[in-house]
Amino acid sequence: MSGEAIHPLQAWLLAARPKTLSVSIAPVLAGTTLAWLETATVLWLPAVVALVAALLIQIGTNLHNDAADFARGADAPGRLGPARAVASGWLSARQAGMAALGCFALAFGCGVYLAWHGGWPIIALGLAALASGWAYTGGPRPLAYSGLGEVFVFLFFGLAAVMGSFYLQTFRLDWAVFIAASMLGMQAAAVIVVNNYRDLDQDREIGKNTLAVRLGRERSQVEYGLLLFLPYLLLPVLHVLTGMSQWGAALPFLSLPWAMRLLQRFATEPAGPVFNHILAQTAQLQLLFGVLLSLGMML
């Protein structure tokens, strides 16, 4: 669709990258459900506001990324990924940048309530999330250009989102929520691995030193496999720490065949547009894993 005229609403929707927004949903769901498992109650308003804030930060990061990558020459005409709104001329860099600031401002507004509810730990977490969302592709040393993309996603769409959601419900943390957060964070980081593996050759040419550029293709395949499958190995640990039923702890294994199929495709398909489908399905796998984990906690 690059270069074609499209409806403005479709342009904004594509710029938000809806196929990966589930990366924000799964950790909030898991953190809130784990809190319910331990307290038998759910504080719905903090849970919903946390979810909205997480989505706004992700959308804002995506919009900022769209504008910043275009400015740095990362979205050249020959890129293998989906068409980008700014590079395709559907939105101006200023429009995308201002929309990103708007999303961050709305997320900050959500954070005001969450900070009132959860206190200084939530203030620190919210400010760090907003700053990192901007720094992902902004500033003199963007995280995405320094091999830290996976670390950013693991920290903020894993540890921060799950543990923050849990804390808003319970006002404490424990090892069980850390394990659950690590599981969701690893599979979220796998989405970035697919993106960077697909774009490895072009990123190397423009000096975008992603972890895939640093590791090369073979070791990136190992990285992807570890991020996909380590969460399954941690399920018995979570079972022991939470006391969830054996059937509940086993429920996420229903997604294992899909994970195996994704790794097989990742390791054998040549880098190209097919990785756009693998990327979307990796995000969907993380959502399915999170939903099954949450359902398992209810059994």
Angle value at C-alpha 192, between 108 and 237, nearest 5 degrees:
85
Angle subtended at Cα 284 by Cα 41 and Cα 30, rounded to the nearest 5 degrees: 15
Residue 245: is it exposed, middle or buried by C-beta count within 10 angstroms (0-12/13-18/19+)? middle
**Per-residue pLDDT tens over the stretch 211-261:** 999 999 999 999 999 999 999 999 999 999 999 999 999 999 999 999 999
Domains for the chain: give ranges and CATH numbers. Answer: 8-298 (1.10.600)
Q: Which two tokens stand for residue 249?
A: 């702890």
Neighbour tally for 93: CB within 10 Å: 15
Tens of pLDDT along the chain (299 residues) come to: 445 668 889 999 999 999 999 999 999 999 999 999 999 999 999 999 999 999 999 999 999 988 888 877 666 666 677 878 888 889 999 999 999 999 999 999 999 999 999 999 999 998 998 888 888 877 777 888 889 999 999 999 999 999 999 999 999 999 999 999 999 999 999 999 999 999 999 889 888 899 999 999 999 999 999 999 999 999 999 999 999 999 999 999 999 999 999 999 999 999 889 999 999 999 999 999 999 999 999 99
Q: How many CA atoms lie within 13 A of 39 on its CB side?
A: 17
Crossing angle of helices 217-242 and 274-298, rounded to 10°: 10
